[in-house]
Structure 1
Amino acid sequence: MKYTSTRSGEVCVSFEEALCSGYSSKDGGLFVPEKLPSIDIPTLSAWSKFSFSELAYNILRLFISPAEISDAELDSICDASFRQGFDETLESTVPVKKIGQMYVAELFHGPTQCFKDLGMRVVVKMLSHFATKSNRSITLLVSTTGDTGPAACQAVSDANNRLMTLLVHYPNNQISAYQRKQLTTANSPYVHVVSFEGGGDDMDEPIKRILASSGYSQDSPFFVCGVNSFNIGRPLAQIVHFFWTYFRVVELQGLEIGSFIDIVIPTGAMGNVTGAMMAKKMGLPFRKLCTGVNINDIVHRTIQNGKFYKSANMEKTMSEAINVQVPYNFERILYYLTNNGDHERVKSWMEQMEDTQKLDIESSILTKLQATFSSARVSDQEMFDSMIYLKEKFDYTVDPHTAVAVNAATKLGYRIDDNTNEFPFAVLSTASPCKFEEVVTSALGKIGWEDYKKNHYPKKALEIEMKVEQLPTLYQWKDGLSLEEVQKQWEKQARDLIIEEFL
């Protein structure tokens, strides 16, 4: 399997180069497989009987040459990625529960209590594999609005590879106290944590520029790699939990493999959505891919009217992990909506977006977008309403992002309390409520939080609470500076840290 750029058909690289580069250095595009494999019904039937790690192995094997990662190595990577640190009291890595007429895929039973563990751990282990294989040092760069950073910290700490280090950034006062503590209590010589005074995606551009100038090269003994969901490894790994969820819903519903279901996804940077679309194009019988967003609603506006416009400001919400102004994975969505991947059109569109912060989606592409996707915009109060409803009706507590998806589902016409749905639907539950004491308390009251903590609180969360925080490095926003000027300042600070801490 080779990889190309969304912006140039001339790019043709190995999985290792795509994974280790993040962005395409030639044109700034995102890597995608040259061709998605097709999965038939007999294969789906066989896969439905696999454990999660076995399923991951079989799916990832389609995208990675054995010459790069052998069968034995990939099997070991998958086994460790999807078992180490996961809740051993559960029957599976990802339980799928029926709540009323809704299926909930609980993706948060990993070591950092969020779905990012499912993508991040396998990506970090593969990067560690390639660093060791080539005896080259690698620094991973991350910007997080909540869950990506802790997942990366844990994965790098667990890898404990002297050749691999992590520089992780989070927006000051814009993630939950628990998420912050997961970062500031990271006990590893290979992890450095930074807080910056800006919006959730304000570090994206500095990171992209660092990657463009310090990225992967066969000749360099050192390189920098991004592991946010622009890295192709993340959506590839996340394909797995869509297949898994499909198999469990069909099984629980008593349907045959090949029956259609709908999926509802709390949506930020669209990495999970990209994994869902790739799975659907491979042959997984998803009918509608439904996105739930908060008031930072660029995805909703784009699906509804084709206006892919960056809003003037990032609005603070109670579902902070999906606070995104421009989801970079939408570039991959556009690529797959063009006929056979039209690189030149995607390049033109994304350059226009980068220059003007606005892109009007062509009518033919918008029609395809709306045929595959639906969307709903959810306010904080509506999110609270869904948290209260699930607790009172089913004694089921969810985090704010899952509640956004649940509320979006009801807005899109899905029924939780009766069986009038035309198709079964599943909601991705992307994080444990344990990470959001403030939000759960605001919705369910102090008694609701105390009930959750008494009966459902993860053991690992209690361990985090006992740890002492270390102050992070701070990137300040000096008065009078524009965002562009501040980003240049932050870029220099990040480069200095990479040199000072890791080289």
Structure 2
Amino acid sequence: MEVLYKSTRGNGETVTASQAILKGLSDDGGLFVPTSIPALDVPMEKLAAMSYQEVAYEVMSRFLTDFTEDELKNCIANAYDAKFDTEEIAPLTKADGVYYLELFHGATIAFKDMALSILPHLMTTAAKKNGVKNEIVILTATSGDTGKAAMAGFADVPGTRIIVFYPKNGVSPIQEKQMVTQKGKNTHVVAIHGNFDDAQTGVKKMFNDKELGKELADKGFQFSSANSINIGRLVPQVVYYVYAYANLVKNGEIADGEKINVTVPTGNFGNILAAFYAKQMGLPIAKLICASNENKVLFDFFRTGVYDRNRDFILTTSPSMDILISSNLERLIYRIAGNSEAADRELMQDLAKDGKYEITDAMKKELADFYGNYASEQETADAIAKLYSDTGYVIDTHTAVAAAVYGKYREETYDETKTVIASTASPYKFTSSVLAAIAPEYDTLPVLEQVDKLSALANTEIPRAIEEIRTAPVLHTTECDVDQMPETVRAFLK
């Protein structure tokens, strides 16, 4: 069955998967969504016997129907290879009765690698399929992880350039060091004087700037996105939820067909939306537990039906979740509005004009699959400390937000359904905050000395991604104000 894509704000026009991946964002400012969610029509006993790469093909081929088998398998083989430090790609670790889905074994030790390792291959394949002659310029805003993972994926890929904007003083020292030391003649990194929402809004404005688009097209360039607004980011994320479930069946932890809960630390909403899509495909998921940090705009939305970004922006120890505009939520809004472009358009206009919108009672009822809550900074640190004290297992701050929220969910509901927590980053990416929780006497050491202490405490090897930046030279020093972002892009594309 062919799956086509249309904009959440459009008039029903459809494009192929490869066209949606190339464009990133629809011309009307909407996000591409599949016209229908394909069924996961492979028996679980077969999936349970498959490698990660084989499961990826079964899931992604259902969504990306205009890619040939050879094209898609080639993209998958190039993505999920020795860049990952475990053969399983996304292993499950059981600790304190919960299954942690480790999504941080790729080149940049964060879950963004799971999708951004394959996106460059999907995009260059899509360009060939559609006869694109222009150079593709990947324009991306990052709250810490997407930027490095995207650059690692696109570095020196022919026919592409990548420009990443991140908030100065809004990412961890390790995250910043990873970005500013990135090699590749086609990579550019810019620190903006603002927060992540400013960066994301600036990137969206450039996508919607027709004059800038024409100016660059005349020079042989066209924009695309590596942010989670790109459907080519979202589809690969569906894979690891299917793989996790299949592994639980294979390992005898659950019976085929038994429902599980999934808990996801959530900022931009893409990662939990992928779990929702997996459920829509037929994966036996009961509750989708949406975990926020103190920037709890999503918790408030699930509690009240009002999405309101008019609030203070809080810098936390889980910076990749320091987000007040959760772009991917629009895809869920479109769905719970009965796939109505008009309803979605109206709500997004309210968001642009007033910074908030309110969904109807009928739409609220469609959110029954979700539970939302948040963890304070203290609760986050306590979750790291408790799990380490009880089991010796060390998690990062984002995963700890999820663990703390899952604890609240169990206390409120008494639900003992087996649960997978998406472990979205390596603790080595946030050493200061992790050590402050488990061994505070070390949290003032220089960052790379902290890494050594964490390795000894956790009894785990230091990831390659960290070893590489010990002596790597800084290659990117550009900074700009938010209103200078278009000029900065022009300067890179002379």
Q: TM-score, normalised by structure 1?
A: 0.90
Cα distance between partner residues in 1 of 2:369 and 2:45 = 24
Question: 1:414-438 CA distances to partner (integer Å, 9 max, x unpaired)?
Answer: 69xxxx8531001000000111121
Name which of 180, 183, 202 aligns with 1:184.
180
Question: 1:99-128 CA distances to partner (integer Å, 9 max, x unpaired)?
Answer: 121000000000110110011111121112
- Whether the 8 Å CA contact 1:307–1:361 is kept in 2: the answer is yes
Gaps of 5+ in 1: 477-486
Which residue of 2 is the match for residue 102 of structure 1? 98
Within-5 A mapping of 1:98-497: 98-132=94-128, 134=131, 135-157=133-155, 160-212=156-208, 213=210, 221-339=220-338, 341-369=339-367, 371-413=368-410, 422-445=416-439, 446=441, 450-454=452-456, 455-456=459-460, 457-476=462-481, 487=482, 489-497=483-491
User: Does residue 20 of the first structure (1) align with residue 22 of the second (2)?
Assistant: yes
Cα distance between partner residues in 1 of 2:150 and 2:177 = 14
Which residue of 2 is the match for residue 479 of structure 1? none
Cα distance between partner residues in 2 of 1:252 and 1:97 = 12
Question: SS where residue 38 of structure 1 aligns?
Answer: coil
- Whether the 8 Å CA contact 1:30–1:332 is kept in 2: the answer is yes
The structure-2 alpha-carbon separation of the partners of 1:367 and 1:462, relative to structure 1 and needing over 3 Å to count, comes to same
Q: What letter matches 2:60 in structure 1?
A: L
Q: What letter matches 1:394 in structure 2?
A: T
C-alpha displacement at 1:290, in angstroms? Answer: 0.2
Question: 1:203-244 CA distances to partner (integer Å, 9 max, x unpaired)?
Answer: 222211221226699x97431111111111111110001111
C-alpha displacement at 1:15, in angstroms? Answer: 1.4
C-alpha displacement at 1:76, in angstroms? Answer: 1.2
Q: What letter matches 1:354 in structure 2?
A: A
- Whether the 8 Å CA contact 1:139–1:498 is kept in 2: the answer is no
Cα distance between partner residues in 2 of 1:389 and 1:215 = 51
C-alpha displacement at 1:197, in angstroms? Answer: 0.8
Which residue of 1 is the match for residue 65 of structure 2? 65
Cα distance between partner residues in 2 of 1:460 and 1:198 = 27
C-alpha displacement at 1:65, in angstroms? Answer: 3.0
Cα distance between partner residues in 1 of 2:358 and 2:161 = 40
Cα distance between partner residues in 1 of 2:285 and 2:184 = 41
Question: SS where residue 263 of structure 1 aligns?
Answer: strand
Cα distance between partner residues in 2 of 1:216 and 1:4 = 23
- Whether the 8 Å CA contact 1:206–1:490 is kept in 2: the answer is no
Cα distance between partner residues in 2 of 1:284 and 1:498 = 44
Cα distance between partner residues in 1 of 2:476 and 2:453 = 32
Cα distance between partner residues in 1 of 2:49 and 2:265 = 27
The structure-2 alpha-carbon separation of the partners of 1:197 and 1:30, relative to structure 1 and needing over 3 Å to count, comes to same
C-alpha displacement at 1:314, in angstroms? Answer: 1.1
Question: 1:237-294 CA distances to partner (integer Å, 9 max, x unpaired)?
Answer: 1000111112223344543221100000000000101111111111111000001111
Cα distance between partner residues in 2 of 1:44 and 1:272 = 22
Cα distance between partner residues in 2 of 1:250 and 1:293 = 29
Question: 1:121-153 CA distances to partner (integer Å, 9 max, x unpaired)?
Answer: 111211122345534310101111110011011
Question: 1:351-370 CA distances to partner (integer Å, 9 max, x unpaired)?
Answer: 1111111111211111221x
- Whether the 8 Å CA contact 2:7–2:31 is kept in 1: the answer is yes
C-alpha displacement at 1:174, in angstroms? Answer: 1.0
The structure-2 alpha-carbon separation of the partners of 1:494 and 1:34, relative to structure 1 and needing over 3 Å to count, comes to farther
C-alpha displacement at 1:2, in angstroms? Answer: 1.2
Aligned pair count reads 474
Which residue of 1 is the match for residue 446 of structure 2? none
Deviates more, 1:400-409 or 1:56-65: 56-65
Cα distance between partner residues in 2 of 1:465 and 1:363 = 53
Question: SS where residue 12 of structure 2 aligns?
Answer: strand
Q: TM-score, normalised by structure 2?
A: 0.92
Question: SS where residue 171 of structure 2 aligns?
Answer: coil
Which residue of 1 is the match for residue 447 of structure 2? none
Which residue of 2 is the match for residue 7 of structure 1? 9
Question: SS where residue 269 of structure 1 aligns?
Answer: coil
Question: SS where residue 142 of structure 1 aligns?
Answer: strand
Question: 1:335-392 CA distances to partner (integer Å, 9 max, x unpaired)?
Answer: 12133x12211111111111111111211111221x1100111111100000000111
Question: 1:66-120 CA distances to partner (integer Å, 9 max, x unpaired)?
Answer: 4xx3211211110121114110xx3411110111210000000001101100111
- Whether the 8 Å CA contact 1:47–1:55 is kept in 2: the answer is yes
When the two chains are superposed, the root-mean-square deviation of aligned CA atoms in Å is 2.0
Q: What letter matches 1:117 in structure 2?
A: D
C-alpha displacement at 1:451, in angstroms? Answer: 4.4
